[in-house]
Structure 1
Amino acid sequence: MRRWLALLVAATTSLVLIALLVPMALLVRAVAENGAMGRATTTAESVALSPDPELSAQRASLPVEVIRRVTPQSSDAVRLAALGRSVTAEADEGRQVLTSVQSPQGTVVISVFVSEQELRRGVYEAWVALLVLGLALVVLGIVLADRLARRLVGPISELAGVSHRLAGGDLEARATPGGPPELRSVALALNHLAGRIGDLLAAERESVADLSHRLRTPLTGLRLDAEALRDREEAARIAARVDDLERAVSSIINDARHHERAQTSCDAAAVVGDRVRFWSVLAEDQEREVTVELPQGRVQVAVAAADLAAAVDALLGNVFAHTPEGTAFSVRLTPDGRLSVHDEGPGFDAALLERGSSGAGSTGLGLDIVRRTAEASGGSMRLSKQGVELLLGR
């Protein structure tokens, strides 16, 4: 912006100076010519009025010729001056001023020669001075424009930096109002917006935490009901699921209370294997055939274990929610972090990719959670007719 403003001022100043200095330069030349011709006329009249024209011509500062005899071969200017008129005529490398005077011997024509050098005396020096003045004014205009642009660019750059910090999650970033009144107004508005964003996010996190905390009461009742079961094996199985649910609720509360989380990673093979074993019990109850393909070694991905577990639960939960009992499904994880969950059901509807859309009466957030988990790791999600494929970042 500083460069463009400087160029604009330089161009504008140059046009104004050209419009001003060119006529002034022409005026200087005309004044010099008029001065030279005035001096020549004065010299011619002085010589004509003197008693001895030849002697006066010798003492003149300009070349003077005294013509006592006018013949038909004389120039038109000389013959016209002999008629009693003052004549100015063009000559080689200059001009002539001619006048006549009557003497006892007849008409005498006085011719004063004005050279081009005399006509241009002081003109080139004045032109150089005007050029230097113009350049100085252009440079001065550029310097002033740069100072003005610095006052504008500084606050604008700070506003841009604060906006980038806010976009990066630094909700404490604030701009220092400065510069022209309009920029100060923008800075104050940006600070107000940042404050409102912080307040809204804090209120949202508190609401999520409060809602999650309210789930602890029914979880406690569910745990008591599980412990009251006479079948110890069944009680232990239900209690384990209650523990998993309670851990998930606690994780939601912690995430809501502490929004900034460090980048973590996990072993995808271990997390996927654990969640598949959890869902395998329900699959066995519903007589679903489960095919699992996991690598032998570790598959390190740039996803927190809790987030990956939630994504796997959402994918497997969709299989149980959207396919009839007895429908087989498969879970496959490759060493490069590619996770796929396919089933033999009727297939996915493309509308399920929209957040909040569901075809089975659920919240419709499952696939959106999966997509955001994959993208947060630097990967992606692809939805096919028979399942979902995730590419997890490493």
Structure 2
Amino acid sequence: MRARLALLAAAVSVLTLVAFLVPLALLVRTVAEDRATVRATADAQSLVPVVGAADPATIRLTVERLAVESGRPVSVFLPDGTVLGTPAPRTPAVALAARGQSLTAESADGREVVIAVQGRPDGTGVIRTVVPGAELTAGVGRAWLVLALLGGLLVVISLVVADRLAHTLVRPISELSAVSHRLANADLDARVTPAGPTELREVAGALNHLAGRIQELLGQEREQVADLSHRLRTPLTALRLEAESLGDPQDAARITSAVDGLERAVTGLIRQARRQRPAVGPVGCDAAAVVADRVQFWSVLAEDTGRTVHRELASGPLPVAVPAEDLAAAVDALLGNVFAHTPDGTPFTVRLAVTGNVAAGARGAPAGSRGETAGARGAAGGSRGEVLLSVADEGPGMPPDTVRRGASTAGSTGLGLDIARRAAEAGGGRLELRTGPAGGAEVVLRLAPPAATAS
């Protein structure tokens, strides 16, 4: 924008200067020609008294002296045909002047000035002088150069002024753009200092008002979510007391552990709801540790419901660009869907591998009564490839439009798969749905390593 305004100012300045300087330059040339012509005419007219009354010898001396002083050829044509002074042919202008008419005519040598002198006893005499082209244009080139320099200086001044004016417009616009980008990146404290023309000041004020309103609404939403989450602590406390009153220590410990996990999730939700700024610096976790922990947790419930769990988990560390809490919530959502939407006794498989090493996860002998297999130790640790987390069941499958927030065909909230999708996409990955090897549903999370995420 700044360059375009400067270009516009330059174009207007050049057009204006051309409109004024070209006629002025032509006028300068005309004035120079007229000045030289008037000077030559005055010199020629100074000879009129001599030519009209003196003898030829006196006329010759006077004409020769004037030619030397003026630097122009001067000739006198007497009625008897004698030419005194600078030799010159009788031109049509001389012939016309011999009839008594003085005039100025253009010739190949320059501008010809002829003056008719009447009153001689033998007829009309003619005085002729020629103004050379160099004298006609004397000083014109210098004047044109001065005009050109003046025009260039005016163009430069107009460009400087236009650039300063453009700066007063572009700087507030750039600040508006920078603040809008900061707001888009969740920096809700960003504000614009109103500057520039009235219209830009109004826009800056409107943007500041919008940012303040967004901050106010988000604050209210955070408090509402935090309050709602805090209300869950009361039933959790009652559930913990009920668990502690159970007679079977193992059942009490198991239920208490589940309550502890739920309470940690609620606490994390409150902290996340009250977080005013996005996390700074790289975030991530070890996918192998998080997935193994959550699969171990759900394996207890799988045993109670008669489900066979096949685990094909690569050994860690497998760093991914997803916080541990988010990845744990995603795994819980995927495994919770298996328990919620498939009949008791339906087997399911959890695979964790690195891109290019998926096959390695299938190696290993069955281990344990639940049909588990040893993890793919060779898909290991230091790899920086994409990490694949797959949860496949042998149930009836799922509709194709399941991954839509709030949409569910099974009477649930419809948030589980969306939680997993957002967790993967926040770290630069994605979620895929497809039919599993046994005909049921298979959900694949492709998780990017921390270095692959955009800052």
TM-score, with structure 2 as normaliser: 0.81
Aligned 1:164-183 pairs, distance under 5 A: 164-183=181-200
Aligned 1:126-145 pairs, distance under 5 A: 126-145=143-162
User: Is 1:317 equivalent to 2:336 in the alignment?
Assistant: yes
Equivalent position amino acid for 1:65 in 2: S
Aligned 1:192-211 pairs, distance under 5 A: 192-211=209-228
- Aligned equivalents of 1:54, 1:348: Cα separation in 2: 125
Structure 1 partner of 2:27: 27
Equivalent of residue 230 in structure 2, options 213, 222, 227: 213
- Aligned equivalents of 1:259, 1:384: Cα separation in 2: 38
Deviation at 1:265, TM superposition (A): 2.8
Equivalent position amino acid for 1:145 in 2: A
User: Is 1:233 equivalent to 2:250 in the alignment?
Assistant: yes
**Greater shift after overlay, 226-235 or 251-260?**
226-235
3-state SS of paired residue (1:326): coil
Cα deviation code 1:57-85 (max 9, x no counterpart) = 345434321011477x8332221111111
- 2:287–2:316 contact (8 Å) kept in structure 1: no
3-state SS of paired residue (2:32): helix
3-state SS of paired residue (1:25): helix
**Greater shift after overlay, 295-304 or 226-235?**
226-235
Aligned 1:116-135 pairs, distance under 5 A: 116-135=133-152
Structure 1 partner of 2:90: 74
TM-score, with structure 1 as normaliser: 0.92
Equivalent of residue 370 in structure 1, options 420, 423, 427: 420
Equivalent of residue 388 in structure 2, options 338, 350, 358: 338
Equivalent position amino acid for 1:31 in 2: V
Cα deviation code 1:139-159 (max 9, x no counterpart) = 111111121122222222222
- 1:70–1:79 contact (8 Å) kept in structure 2: no
Equivalent of residue 434 in structure 2, options 373, 381, 384: 384
Cα deviation code 1:63-117 (max 9, x no counterpart) = 321011477x833222111111123222223011112122112221111211101
Equivalent of residue 328 in structure 1, options 337, 342, 347: 347
Deviation at 1:56, TM superposition (A): 4.7
3-state SS of paired residue (2:180): helix
- Aligned equivalents of 1:229, 1:110: Cα separation in 2: 142
Structure 2 partner of 1:360: 410
Structure 2 partner of 1:17: 17
Deviation at 1:207, TM superposition (A): 0.8
User: Is 1:40 equivalent to 2:95 in the alignment?
Assistant: no
- 1:57–1:63 contact (8 Å) kept in structure 2: no
Equivalent position amino acid for 2:3 in 1: R
User: Is 1:57 equivalent to 2:58 in the alignment?
Assistant: no
Equivalent position amino acid for 1:265 in 2: G
Deviation at 1:224, TM superposition (A): 2.8
- Aligned equivalents of 2:404, 2:19: Cα separation in 1: 65
- 2:79–2:122 contact (8 Å) kept in structure 1: no
**Greater shift after overlay, 131-140 or 294-303?**
294-303
Unmatched segments (≥5 aa) in structure 1: none
Cα deviation code 1:30-81 (max 9, x no counterpart) = 121222222333333332244445455345434321011477x833222111
- 2:115–2:127 contact (8 Å) kept in structure 1: yes
C-alpha RMSD over aligned residues: 2.1
3-state SS of paired residue (1:334): strand
3-state SS of paired residue (1:351): coil
Unmatched segments (≥5 aa) in structure 2: 82-88, 355-384, 436-440, 450-455
- 1:100–1:108 contact (8 Å) kept in structure 2: yes
- Aligned equivalents of 1:58, 1:147: Cα separation in 2: 65
Cα deviation code 1:242-287 (max 9, x no counterpart) = 2211111111011112244354332222211121122222223332
Change over 3 Å in CA distance of 1:80–1:307 after alignment to 2: same
Equivalent position amino acid for 2:391 in 1: V
- Aligned equivalents of 1:182, 1:136: Cα separation in 2: 33
- Aligned equivalents of 1:113, 1:296: Cα separation in 2: 109
Change over 3 Å in CA distance of 1:193–1:177 after alignment to 2: same
- Aligned equivalents of 1:40, 1:345: Cα separation in 2: 117
Deviation at 1:208, TM superposition (A): 0.7
3-state SS of paired residue (2:101): coil
Equivalent of residue 105 in structure 2, options 89, 92, 95: 89
- 2:195–2:201 contact (8 Å) kept in structure 1: yes
Structure 1 partner of 2:85: none
Deviation at 1:338, TM superposition (A): 1.4
Equivalent position amino acid for 2:220 in 1: A
Structure 2 partner of 1:188: 205
3-state SS of paired residue (2:143): helix
3-state SS of paired residue (1:353): coil
- 1:330–1:343 contact (8 Å) kept in structure 2: yes
- 1:96–1:114 contact (8 Å) kept in structure 2: yes
Equivalent position amino acid for 1:93 in 2: D
**Greater shift after overlay, 224-233 or 166-175?**
224-233
- Say which structure is richer in helix: 1
- Aligned equivalents of 1:295, 1:75: Cα separation in 2: 114
- Aligned equivalents of 1:297, 1:151: Cα separation in 2: 57
**Greater shift after overlay, 255-264 or 83-92?**
255-264
